[in-house]
């Protein structure tokens, strides 16, 4: 009788070990799959160097007025390699703008600053691509040397706008008051990249 009880306990113990073995094997396979996913897919944020540009004298107070054009030159391959050495521009599946800010590099004068701009929109430009608005703001009438323009487009994938390491952005809007001198400015733009091998 003791032999039967011992065999029953041993069988239950072995079944328990077998279940534990299957659970352990399944867990390990899930972990290895997630490691493969992490090694073949990656999201990184890029904040390239600041791009300097000029805002020309402008007395046009109508809506949809061209305010300035910005051409940014970015060595994306180098910036990607710094954060993800296994990836390159060939692995970009998505490239989205996450922030866009303008700042004046000269002293901010009462009659020539961002208060002259009533509203402004940023659109991406590239030959052969339809441009669309990425960021926009209605600006208060207050003296300012810095203007953060919030991203308004939820689907602002710029991958197709990348042309040999450069992006072109057009600033359009309505001036509240004419500017009387060229405004020296800089644009700071950050991007979020999705990469996949």
Domain containing 157 — which CATH number?
2.60.120
Mean pLDDT of 153-161: 84
Greatest CA span in the chain, whole angstroms?
106
> CA 150 to CA 100: how far, in whole Å?
7
- Print the domain residue range for 59: 42-196
Instruction: List Cβ neighbours of 180 (8 Å cut-off, separation of 6 or more).
Output: 57, 111, 112
Task: Label residue 156 by pLDDT band (50, 70, 90).
Answer: confident
Q: Is residue 190 assigned to a domain?
A: yes
Q: Please tell me the total count of domains within the chain.
A: 1
Residues 80-136: tens digit of each pLDDT: 899 889 998 889 999 999 999 999 999 899 999 999 999 999 998 877 777 889 999
Q: Is the pLDDT of residue 178 over 70?
A: yes
Q: Is residue 37 assigned to a domain?
A: no
Q: Which residue has the tokens 């239950």?
A: 12
Q: Is residue 29 assigned to a domain?
A: no
- Cα–Cα distances in Å, from 67 out to 31, 34, 59, 82? 53, 48, 10, 35
- Per-residue burial over 108-136, b = 16 or more CB atoms within 10 Å of its CB, e = otherwise: eeeebbbbbbbebbbbbeeeeeeeeebbb
pLDDT of residue 38: 55
Q: Is residue 127 assigned to a domain?
A: yes
Measured in residues, the chain has a length of: 197
Q: Provide the 3-class DSSP secondary structure of residue 106.
A: coil
- CB contact at 8 A, 101 and 150: no
Q: Is residue 118 assigned to a domain?
A: yes
Q: Is the pLDDT of residue 24 over 50?
A: no
Closest CA to 133 of 95, 172, 188: 172
Q: Is residue 167 assigned to a domain?
A: yes
pLDDT of residue 15: 57
């Amino acid at each position: 009788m003791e032999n039967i009880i011992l065999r029953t306990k041993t069988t239950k113990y072995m079944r328990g070990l077998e279940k534990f073995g299957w659970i352990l094997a399944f867990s390990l396979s899930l972990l290895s799959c997630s490691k493969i996913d992490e090694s073949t897919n990656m999201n990184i944020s890029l904040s390239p160097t600041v791009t300097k540009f000029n805002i020309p004298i402008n007395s046009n107070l109508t809506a949809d007025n061209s305010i300035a054009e910005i051409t940014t030159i970015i060595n994306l391959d180098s910036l990607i390699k710094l954060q993800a050495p296994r990836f390159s521009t060939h692995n970009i599946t998505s490239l989205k703008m996450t922030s866009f800010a303008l700042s004046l590099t000269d002293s901010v004068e009462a009659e020539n600053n961002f208060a002259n701009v009533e509203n402004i929109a940023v659109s991406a430009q590239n030959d052969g691509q339809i441009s669309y608005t990425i960021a926009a703001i209605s600006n208060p009438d207050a003296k300012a040397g810095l203007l953060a323009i919030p991203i308004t487009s939820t689907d602002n994938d710029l991958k197709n706008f990348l042309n040999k390491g450069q992006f072109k952005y057009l600033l359009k809007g309505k001036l509240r008051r004419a500017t009387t001198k060229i405004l020296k400015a800089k644009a700071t733009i950050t991007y979020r990249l999705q990469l996949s091998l």
